[in-house]
A = this chain, B = another copy of it.
Amino acid sequence: MSILVVGSIALDTVETVHGRVEDAPGGSALYFSAAASFFAPVNVVGVVGEDFDFAEIEFLKARQVDLRGLKVEKGQTFRWGGRYHADMNHRDTLFTYLNVFEQFNPDIPEAYRNSRFLFLANIDPDLQLNVLNSVNDPRLTVLDTMNFWISGKRQPLDEVICRVNVLILNDEEIRELTGIDNIHKAARELLTRGPEVLVVKKGEHGAVMITREDYFFAPAYPVEQVVDPTGAGDSFAGGFVGYLAQKNVLTPECFRQAVVYGSTIASFNVESFSFERLKSLQPEEIEQRVERFREMVRF
């Protein structure tokens, strides 16, 4: 089943203790696509500037990613710069230049409107609503957001939340959305608002998936050299949605497996800057690591 993703495309300048890259391709839509493309065809909607070098993401085309929904606008591509602390759990944003992304107004091509799986990456909730209104009854809708929208665009965000099946958030975002400190209580509250599945991303501590009937705890893979955590959340979402789209089965079992596939792809992604690791990654490496996840929790 094909997937539609709407999100940002960026040129990232990132510094970590392991090095530095300048204007490397990134952004939520691309990290998601690179990850999901191991499992299912992906249609991408986003915007870039005239300076964007499509050769850099040529590898995505070979993996059934349809880039026709990328608009090229006059001006510069969205740029983000950040520096990670030594523990990799904290970062300082050095600059954010929205550039052409500031006027982004996703226009879903006719050919994409029947995508059965939809990922609304972290963008303005008003735009997420527009996207939801443009697609034809998708089978599964998955939402990401951030504290900026939780505090600044609450009303449209609440409306989007009511209309999606799955929320992928971190601890802090869940607390901020609900005003409840205990994550498990907060999760139950969120599950009364519409979504059936809540995935809590916890970085190096793994991920938790909570539904009305199920509770699943996935470990994080013990990556010994985290080179660059940028895109971990979006590549997690890509593996998660990609796996579900490939199986096209929405049982609790499949959702649990999807969390593990998401964690697996994210664990590869952080082993390099930008898409380097995801470019070279082979399906059998994914399967091997999924088996290691299984072994890690057995008792």
A interface vs B, CB < 8 Å?
A: 17, 86-88, 175, 181-185, 202, 204-206, 208, 215-220, 222-226, 253, 256-257, 259-260, 294, 296-299
Contacts and interface: CB of A to CB of B under 8 A. Distances in A.
Contact of A219 (B185, B217, B225): B217
A259 B206 CA distance: 17
Contacts of A88: 181-182
> In the complex this chain forms, how many copies of it are found?
2
Given A202-B205, A205-B206, A217-B206, A256 B184 contact: no
11 contacts: A87-B181, A88-B181, A182-B224, A182-B225, A184-B222, A205-B206, A206-B206, A208-B222, A216-B296, A216-B297, A297-B297
Contacts of A299: 216, 218, 253, 256-257, 259-260, 294
Nearest to A187: B222
A180 to B, nearest CB: 10
Contacts of A223: 184
Given A297-B297, A298-B256, A299-B256, A215 B222 contact: yes
A296 B208 CA distance: 9
A204 B260 CA distance: 20
Contacts of A220: 217
